[in-house]
Amino acid sequence: ISFNKTAENLVRFFYNRGIQVGDNFDTYLMPENKEDFRRIFGQALSGNVSIEEIEIFFPNSARLWLNIEFYPVYDYHQQIIGISINAADITQRKKAELHLAAQNRELRNIAWLHSHEIRRIVANVIGLISLIDSTDLSVENLEVLQHLDNSARELDEAIHKIVKTVNELEYLGFA
C-alpha cells in the first residue's frame, strides 16, 4: 500500500493508528466492508474502472457514505501495477436522499389512505344518495339532496386526481 497525506490523516483519525507503506489494506477494513471492497478492487484489477457509493464502517463506530472510485494503474507496457482509489464523503447528501425517500414512502401511504379508505366512504355516500326515494321529498329537500350528490361526486373526482397524480409521480420515479 502507498498513500497520500490525506489517507494517512484519515487512517489516524478513524483507526487511531499510523499507516505504513507496504501495509496490507485488508487490515484497514471492517468486516462489514470487506466483501464490497474486494469485489470492487477485483473489478479494478481486471482493468475496469469502478465507481460506487457505499457506506463505510470504522472501528471508532463512525459511519460514512463515500463515493469511491477505483482506477487501474498501468505501467508503460500496459500492465496493471496498482489501483488508485479516490473517495469523497457524500454522507450529508446520502442522509438527505434517505430522508427524502422516507418522506416519499409516507406520502405514498397518505395517498393510499386517500385513494382507498376515503374513496370507500365517498362511494358509500354516493350509493346511499342513490337509494333515497326522492318521490316524497319537498322541492327544498330535493335541492339539498342534489347538492349532496354533487358534492360527493366532486370529492370523488378530487380523490381520483390525487391517485392519478401519485401514480404519475411513481411512474416518473419521483415517489
pTM score of the predicted model = 0.59
Tens digit of each residue's pLDDT (9 = 90 or more) over 100-133? 989 888 887 887 787 778 888 888 999 999 888 8
CA atoms within 13 A on the CB side of 10: 16
pLDDT of residue 87: 87
Q: 61-104 pLDDT, tens per residue?
A: 778 899 999 999 999 999 999 889 888 999 999 999 999 989 88
CB 16 within 8 A of CB 60: yes
* CB contact at 8 A, 73 and 80: yes
